[in-house]
Amino acid sequence: MGRYQEIFSKSVESPDEFWGKAAESIDWSRKWDKVLDDSDPPFYKWFAGGEMNTCYNALDRHVESGRADQVAIIYDSPVTNTIEKFTYREMRDLAANFAGVLKGLGVEKGDTVIIYMPMIPQAAIAMLACARIGAVHSVVFGGFAANELAIRIDHSKPKVIVSASGAIEGKKLIEYKPLLDKAIEIAEHKPEKCVIYQRQQVKAPLSEGRDFDWQELTAKAEPADCVPVKATDPLYILYTSGTTGMPKGVVRDNGGHAVALNWSMENIYDVRSGDVFWAASDVGWVVGHSYIIYAPLLRGCTTIIYEGKPIGTPDAGAFWRVINQHGVRVLFTAPTAFRAIKKEDPEGDFVKQYDLSDFKYLFLAGERLDPDTYHWASKILKRPVIDHWWQTETGWPIAANCMGIEQMPVKPGSPTVAVPGYDVRIVDDEGKEVGPHEEGNVVVKLPLPPGTLPTLYNANEKFISSYMSKFPGYYETSDGGYIDEDGYIFVMGRIDDVINIAGHRLSTGAMEEVVATHPAIAECAVFGTDDKLKGQLPVGLVVLKAGADPDVDEMKQELVKMVRSQIGPIACYKETAVVPRLPKTRSGKILRGTMRSISNGKEYRMPSTIDDPTSLDEITETLKSMGYPK
Ligand code: COA
Ligand code: AMP
């Protein structure tokens, strides 16, 4: 038996022993009573009875154990021409200071705090400060519009919102304050106070009595110490797209999260304390939470907060410059970033200009790694390119080639094998396990390992109906795929209405909800089509109301604006066509999956329940006139 197989078997056969041992690498103020409390499935509790503090484990303990002067965070911002380094001691002091600010504003253990910030160190400071005092943060990605922020304000009911005056997005300056003000205006829940970090590039006007200046508050705050929290207490809520306009509030606990992330650094990414680890993502996404902030700091690594893009800041050599300049061992990003680089620098000429001798692995996730991009990245980098699969819900990888355990041969198109802790299976729609190579629903046998979602915020019922009820005893990933005879998992894509645009998870259902509010539109369908750069892009097909006669070009522009202002520019909604009707089943279900296959030029089976097969001919014609398949 290989090393991977041995470790994997232990993890699923004796999870208590396996994770109990892993938990010894974390500092606990009170040891757990039970590694896994499985008395109330599917609500599993890891390290029940244990107490610890995530900020203490991410900062203070490293200061106390000799890493005080090691760099914890490098802020590398080509868009502002800044490189700033923070040691573990400095980060601990900054987090303690901002924790004092939050306390001064009345934030207590268990209160929620929304963080709506660009990629600046203050975002990390705010997150860690919340963790320090047991407050629950909810970071909202800066590319979301005011309406999306308002939805999250109303659901998580923050006492305080922490934001900044603006972001520099490539070459654009985006003011955050108008978005924040609008969100608070729309939301029913009104946060008591907002803290605004004023950036040099843009100054925000503050509302008297509600808004406070970050710099002013931090100048006079008393530092706050770490408070012990229960292992099962929430560390954060991260909203992620589901099938409707109402996102799901994924909850992350403290104890299991710290144990799993710390374990993953050595075993999956093959990094140790002191190594430089760079996740080129955004703190607003799960990758940012787990692998820009928490995991590298828990492990005592140096992490990079990069405020830039893979191209254009200033060129397609940006990633290689950062790796070279900071001695990065592991880079983690989304395949779309590599497709963008490939487009600008197909021969990989920029790579040759930098010394990449510290660089050992490239890890990619967030969307399927297409074999072309895999081969190209392997060719230009000449080092392992590791596809790994995970979700906001799991918080860390479900499938990977675990570099710290045993390097397995790569099969392009597959994120390799199940990560220890995840008992991955493929089942048909009736829940029956299928054989090798047979495509079906990818599910994970319960219990999920530590670090994965214990529930959805204030929505236990939705947690069960979204993930646990269709296949009892299993977690439903909503991804389709198969496993081959060697246990390699192939993830083929979402089987629900979630799409992945440039590694960003969005809901076509949410876009439909916006499009449907246009006064000329009777009904609509939005689905994802394949795109060479961004993986997927949304397309909307709309049916006009009887008697409606809008200027169609104008209407299309209005729809683009509506989706941008209600969901955000990252939805990349640009294409709409008018159709006489939508293809449906006899019971009225719109055949989005079939339309998606047509747009991608993939073979599809005529659904036996289709109401009128000729409706598909109309759709095929319309999509053809739009240039699909591309
Ligand atoms: N704040 C405000 N607006 C944002 C934003 C943010 N944080 N992030 C993106 N946007 C805007 C962009 O400016 C763009 O606006 P536009 O339509 O006015 O031009 C729009 O949202 C779409 O952004 P994006 O899809 O990122 O397209 P892009 O052309 O700017 O960049 C890539 C393309 C491939 C370079 C970029 O998507 C990328 O770097 N992707 C990597 C993704 C990643 O790291 N994912 C995280 C998961 S690991
Ligand atoms: P998110 O919650 O934003 O991380 O998105 C999760 C979804 O992204 C998954 O359900 C998959 O559909 C997709 N995804 C992430 N990583 C991969 C991967 N390596 N291969 C295939 N799909 C992936």
The percentage of residues in the chain with a pLDDT greater than 90, rounded to a whole number, is: 95
Mean pLDDT for all residues in the chain: 96
Pairing of β 385-387 and β 361-364: parallel
Q: Find the mean pLDDT for residues 32-58.
A: 98
> Which ligand is closest to the CA of 532, given by its number?
1
How would residue 244 be classed by pLDDT, with cut points 50, 70 and 90?
confident
The percentage of residues in the chain with a pLDDT greater than 70, rounded to a whole number, is: 100
174 lines ligand 1 (CB under 6 A): yes
> Which ligand is closest to the CA of 288, given by its number?
1
535 lines ligand 1 (CB under 6 A): no
Q: Looking at ligand 2, which atom is closest to the CA of residue 364?
A: 19
Tokens of 220: 């006079």
Residue 404 and residue 377: Cα distance in Å, rounded?
21
- Which residue's C-alpha comes closest to atom 6 of ligand 1? 143
How would residue 171 be classed by pLDDT, with cut points 50, 70 and 90?
confident
- Provide the CA 594 distance to its chain's centre, in angstroms: 27
Annotate 103-117 with b (16+ C-beta within 10 A) or e (fewer): bebebeeebbbbbbb
Reported in sequence order, the residue ranges of 241-275 that DSSP labels E, i.e. its strands, are 248-253
pLDDT given at position 608: 82
CA 569 – ligand 1 centroid, Å: 8
pLDDT at 170 over 90: no
Question: What is the CB-side half-sphere exposure of residue 192 using CA atoms within 13 A?
Answer: 10
pLDDT given at position 607: 82
pLDDT given at position 102: 98
336 lines ligand 1 (CB under 6 A): yes
pLDDT given at position 605: 83
Pairing of β 112-116 and β 136-139: parallel
User: For the chain, which domains are there?
Assistant: 3-308+388-477 (3.40.50.12780), 516-625 (3.30.300.30)
- Which residue's C-alpha comes closest to atom 4 of ligand 2? 391
Q: Is the dihedral of CA 250, 255, 258, 263 positive or negative?
A: negative
pLDDT given at position 52: 98
To test the pocket of ligand 1, the residue of 163, 169, 537 to mutate (highest count of ligand atoms within 8 Å of its CB) is 169
Distances (CA, A) of 91 to 98, 214, 495: 10, 16, 42
Residue 474 and residue 478: Cα distance in Å, rounded?
12
Q: What is the CA radius of gyration of the chain?
A: 24
Phi/psi zone of residue 463: left (φ > 0), alpha (ψ -120 to 50 degrees), beta?
A: alpha
550 lines ligand 1 (CB under 6 A): no
CA 491 – ligand 2 centroid, Å: 8
350-378 tens-digit pLDDT: 999 999 999 999 999 999 999 999 999 99
Strand-pairing partners, residue 417, are 400
Residues contacting ligand 2 via CB (< 6 Å)? 240, 286, 365-369, 387-392, 415, 479, 491, 493-494, 500, 505
Residue 563 and residue 450: Cα distance in Å, rounded?
37
Q: Are the beta carbons of 504 and 336 closer than 8 angstroms?
A: no
Q: Are the beta carbons of 555 and 520 closer than 8 angstroms?
A: yes
pLDDT at 604 over 90: no
Residue 160 φ then ψ, to 5° = -135, 145
Distances (CA, A) of 352 to 80, 325, 342, 348, 375: 26, 14, 14, 7, 18
Residue 308 φ then ψ, to 5° = -170, -175
424-469 tens-digit pLDDT: 999 999 999 999 999 999 999 999 999 999 999 999 999 999 999 9
Residue 433 and residue 427: Cα distance in Å, rounded?
4
529-564 tens-digit pLDDT: 999 999 999 999 999 999 999 999 999 999 999 999
Q: Are the beta carbons of 534 and 547 closer than 8 angstroms?
A: no
Residue 252 φ then ψ, to 5° = -120, 135
Q: Looking at ligand 1, which atom is closest to the CA of residue 564?
A: 17
In sequence order, the 6+-apart residues with CB closer than 8 A to the CB of 625 are 577
CA 211 – ligand 1 centroid, Å: 28
pLDDT at 107 over 90: yes
- Which residue's C-alpha comes closest to atom 24 of ligand 1? 570
3-state secondary structure of 114: strand
